[in-house]
Amino acid sequence: MKNLVLGAVLSGLMAASATTVSAQQLELPAPSPAASVSQRVGLTDISVEYSSPAVKGRKIWGDLVPWDKPWRSGANAATKITFGRDVNFGGKNVPAGSYAIVSIPTQKGWTVALNKDTTIFGGGKAYDQKQDLVRVPATTAEIPARERMIFVFSNTTDDATSLDLEWEKLRVSVPIKVDTAAQAQTNIKKTLDNAWRNHAQAARYVAEKKDFDTALKYIDTSIGIQSTWYNNWIKADILAKKGNTAEARKFAQTAWDLGSKDPNFFFKDQVQKALADWKDAK
């Protein structure tokens, strides 16, 4: 009886073990493994996600990749390119975003399109030329044999790069340009525009610690960058705390004049009360 029970237990364990093994996924190398490459050009991040096929002794151009037909620029799902900022792609302006790279190879030259639908070629979804945002010519060059297709960025500067597809003995290139100088100026302006606020906040914090002289230095810097109702009111408050209510009233009046034009004049009641309280200050 014991042997029968033991046999049943062993059989059950073996069955469970076999089920576990069969449930595990068998991992093998993909024929066209996933790949990605990214590059920052000045202030613009550009990335490409694709599947990388191999030559495997096959004739590629004009055979595996036919002439005069749209090609997904890789294997499996569509190759996707993402621009973190607006760029100029092959001479055409392209807004920031993600696009499918569709190549049209011909014996006379190549055309590369950016298609707005990044799901094409996946699950049998067809390419629709009407969804192309731009189509640009690409340059080609002969290279040493490359077994597996790759994308690379080359000749990268602060303002430009080249997106190159390399496979078999061919390189296909599209220039990409970015307006780094304008983007940098926008960032500089934005930072400087906000600098008054940072100095004002610093002045307010230091004033709360009773270091009024240092607070006045910070708030004067803030007003020097940009005079607003907010930093004028903070200076008025600091001066009043130092006992100089006559001078404080002048800055409170400036705060009132500027704040009356601002829908976000959230210290309106405090400023109004201060002007009344300090009316006869000398």
Say if 265 falls within a structural domain.
yes
Examine the domain organization and report whether 150 and 258 are in the same domain: no
Q: What is the pLDDT of residue 192?
A: 80
Say if CB 70 and CB 127 are below 8 A apart.
yes
Domain that residue 251 falls in: 181-277
Query: In angstroms, rounded to a whole number, what is the distance separating the alpha carbons of residues 99 and 5?
Result: 64
Examine the domain organization and report whether 150 and 224 are in the same domain: no
Examine the domain organization and report whether 134 and 123 are in the same domain: yes
CATH number at residue 249: 1.25.40.10
If one counts the domains in the chain, the total is: 2
Q: What is the pLDDT of residue 25?
A: 87
What region, left, alpha or beta, does residue 74 occupy, with left being phi > 0 and alpha being psi -120 to 50 degrees?
Answer: left
pLDDT tens profile 164-212: 999 999 999 999 999 999 999 999 888 887 899 999 999 999 999 999 9
The per-residue pLDDT string of the chain (282 residues; one tens digit each, 9 = 90 and over) reads 445 544 554 455 555 554 444 557 899 888 899 999 999 999 999 999 999 999 999 999 999 999 999 999 999 999 999 999 999 999 999 999 999 999 999 999 999 999 999 999 977 789 999 999 999 999 999 999 999 999 999 999 999 999 999 999 999 999 999 999 999 999 988 888 789 999 999 999 999 999 999 999 999 999 999 999 999 999 999 999 999 999 999 999 999 999 999 999 999 999 999 999 998 876
Q: Residue 7: which residues within 8 A CB-CB, separation 6 or more?
A: none
Q: What is the pLDDT of residue 104?
A: 97
Examine the domain organization and report whether 132 and 267 are in the same domain: no
Query: In angstroms, rounded to a whole number, what is the distance separating the alpha carbons of residues 99 and 87?
Result: 13
Q: What does each C-alpha distance from 206 to 144, 216, 221, 270 come to in angstroms?
A: 66, 9, 14, 20
Residue in the block written with tokens 């495997």? 56
Examine the domain organization and report whether 72 and 173 are in the same domain: yes
Q: What is the pTM of this model?
A: 0.72
Examine the domain organization and report whether 237 and 161 are in the same domain: no
Examine the domain organization and report whether 150 and 256 are in the same domain: no
Bridge partners of residue 150, in order along the sequence = 166
Q: Which of 178, 198, 226 is the last residue of a domain?
A: 178
Say if 16 falls within a structural domain.
no
Count, residues in the chain:
282
